[in-house]
Amino acid sequence: MIHQSKSYIKFIRLSKNRHGVHSPFVYDLVTKCFNDKKTYPEYEILKSHRKALRSDTSMVEMKDFGQGSRVFKGNARKVSAVVKNAGMRKKRQKLLFRIAKYFNSENILELGTSLGLGTVALSLSNEFSAIHTVEGCPNTLLKAQEYFEKFNLHNIQIHQEIFSDFLSESRSFGTETFDLIFIDGDHNGERTLGYFHSLLKHVHNDSLIIFDDIYWSKDMTAAWQQIIANEKVTVSIDTFQWGLVFFRKEQPKQHFMIRV
């Protein structure tokens, strides 16, 4: 937590809003997507889905395959409590929806389904999208799938595997590429770096990878620094909570710290 606090103070000092962005690509992203104040009809579905989860008092035996929870001590957790204390916040969920919609992302990969708050946002962003979402804990995934079906979200394909197994060389998706990849789980720097390197063969020029909790720990921040230094990454954006990387060969290599 000390690392996060110190990092946030530094971020506030160095970050900028749209007026400090000297890149047409990033400026448009900030003004037309990050700062988009429109009320999309899909927001009502996001609200209903969240409300349903927050009303769910059932207990789920959740197994953590990453760094574990800083909120919960045991594995038996009430669904409503997980959403309230550890789920994606409303503001971020809407932002994820807008990002996927802005880039018209169709082939999407999510590592870390949890209870599906991010998955639903991605699913609603584009009626033609296909979402592959990966979750290691079978019980958590079953609960998420229950709500996907309840809300008639049929463009989501679930994978009950740990991330490293899903990304192993033996997987059958071969040379398939993804428009958007959202990594929202594990929070281990070394493993996150490994996921990034495994995914490089599954990105194209206009792909986007979003990393959650880049300031979770010193090793996560170190992994983020190595990721943005990679020669294949051209544009990178630090929003403190998330780190975004692009592979646009037509762009000069630039890094931005943006307040969202």
DSSP track, 136-150: S-HHHHHHHHHHHHH
Per-residue pLDDT, averaged over 170-179, amounts to 78
74 or 43, which is more confident?
Answer: 43
Confidence class of residue 175 from pLDDT cuts 50, 70 and 90?
confident
Beta-bridged to residue 237, according to DSSP, are: 244, 256
- What pLDDT sits at residue 74? 58
Nearest Cα residue to 133 out of 186, 175, 182:
182
Asked if residue 98 has pLDDT above 60, the reply is yes
- What pLDDT sits at residue 232? 98
Per-residue pLDDT, averaged over 10-20, amounts to 87
Tokens linked to 153: 């979200």
- What pLDDT sits at residue 65? 65
Per-residue pLDDT, averaged over 96-119, amounts to 98
| Structural domain total, the chain | 1
The percent of residues above 70 in pLDDT, for the chain, comes to 94
Tokens linked to 123: 């699913």
Per-residue pLDDT, averaged over 58-79, amounts to 72
| Residue 205 backbone dihedrals phi, psi, to 5 degrees | -55, -35
- What pLDDT sits at residue 18? 76
CATH number at residue 76: 3.40.50.150
Please state at what angle helix 42-54 crosses helix 138-150, rounded to 10 degrees: 130
Tens-digit pLDDT profile for residues 195-252: 999 999 999 999 999 999 999 999 999 999 999 999 999 999 999 999 999 999 999 9
140 or 65, which is more confident?
Answer: 140
Confidence class of residue 20 from pLDDT cuts 50, 70 and 90?
confident
Nearest Cα residue to 186 out of 68, 75, 63, 62:
68
Enclosing domain of residue 149: 2-257
- 242-246 and 203-212: which strand pairing? antiparallel
